[in-house]
Amino acid sequence: MPLILDGNRVRDQIKAECRPRVERIVAHAGRAPGLAVVLVGNNPASEVYVRNKTKTAADLGMHSETITPSASMTTDQLLDLVRELNARPEIDGILVQLPLPGHIDSQRILLAVAPEKDVDGFHPCNVGLLSTGRPGLRPCTPAGVIQILKRYEIPIAGRNTVVVGRSDIVGKPMAMLLLQENATVTICHSRTRDLPDVCRTAEILVAAIGRPAMITAGYITPGAVVIDVGMNKVESRAEAERIFDPARLADFDRRGSLLVGDVHPGDMARAASAYTPVPGGVGPLTIAMLMQNTIDSAERRTGLC
C-alpha cells in the first residue's frame, strides 16, 4: 500500500510550532504578528481561501485584517492602499489575493508590496534571495511541499526530481527549493517533448500544471513519490467518468462537482510509493506556511532574529 502524505497532519505540526513563537513576539513587542489580506471584488473561491487564512491566524493568536475594496477599484487606488499597509508598523505581512480583476495591473501591485512584508514570496527581491540561497520569505506552496517531504522523512538529496509546470508561483520556486535540498531537477511544461518519458525519470514527481488529472499512469514510474499541487474543479459528467471510480462518481452526482489534482487519483494510488491526495495534501500547507512567513517577518521586524 502506498503511503498517503497527509497535509493536514503536517499543517497541525507547523501550527503547534508557531504558537510559542507568537507568544514570544507578544511578550517581546507587546503585540501579535500582524497579517493584512487584501481581497478585491467578489471571487467566491478567493473568499473561501481568505476566510481560511484569517481563521488560522486567529487560531494562532495573530492579528489579521481582511480589507475588501470594490471590484471597481483602480490600480492607482490599490497601490495607495498597499503603500498604507507598508507604512503600518503593526502589519508584518501583506497578502494581495490573486487573481485581481482584469483591469488592475497585478505586476505593479505585487511590486509595490514591501519585500520584508511580502509573505507570499512573490516580490523580485525575495525571488532573488531564493535563487541565490539566501534567507528570505519563500513562496508558500513550494515551501509546504518541502515540509511534507522532510516531515515524512522522504530523502531528497541526490534524487531525480521532475517538476511539471513553470509558473512563478509554484513551478520555478519549487525547482529552486529542490535544488537547495541537493536534488537533481528537471523542469517540464506544456511544450516539453515526450513529456511522459521525462516524467518517468522522476523518483519525486511534482505536478503543478493546472490541468485536471492530466498526469496518468504512463507518466509515473512505479515506486515514485508523487506530489500533486493541482486543485481543479471538475463539473463535467464525462470528465468525472474519466477520472473517478464509481463511489466518487456517486459523490459527483450528489454535489454536481468534485475537486481533483493534476494527477489521475487512481493511477497515482496504484503506481506511487507515496503521494499527496487532493484535497488534503499540499493545500493545507499553503496556509500554514503563510502563517510561518508572517511570524518570520514579525521576528525580524521586532528584533527577535
Grouping H, G, I as helix, E, B as strand and the rest as coil, residue 187 is strand
Q: Among this protein's residues, is 53 annotated catalytic?
A: yes
- Amino acid identity of residue 174, one-letter, is M
Grouping H, G, I as helix, E, B as strand and the rest as coil, residue 35 is strand
Q: How far apart (Å, rounded) are the C-alpha atoms in residues 104 and 160? A: 40
Q: Among this protein's residues, is 120 annotated catalytic?
A: yes
Return the ∠ at Cα 239 (arms to 238 and 244), rounded to 5°: 105
Provide the 10 A C-beta neighbour count for residue 76: 11
- Amino acid identity of residue 72, one-letter, is S
Cell numbers that stand for 118 in this block:
511580502
CB–CB of 54/64 below 8 Å? yes
Q: How far apart (Å, rounded) are the C-alpha atoms in residues 261 and 167? A: 16
Q: Among this protein's residues, is 233 annotated catalytic?
A: no
Catalytic residue, from 92, 117, 118, 120: name it.
120
Strands 232-234 and 258-260: antiparallel
Active-site residue numbers? 53, 97, 120
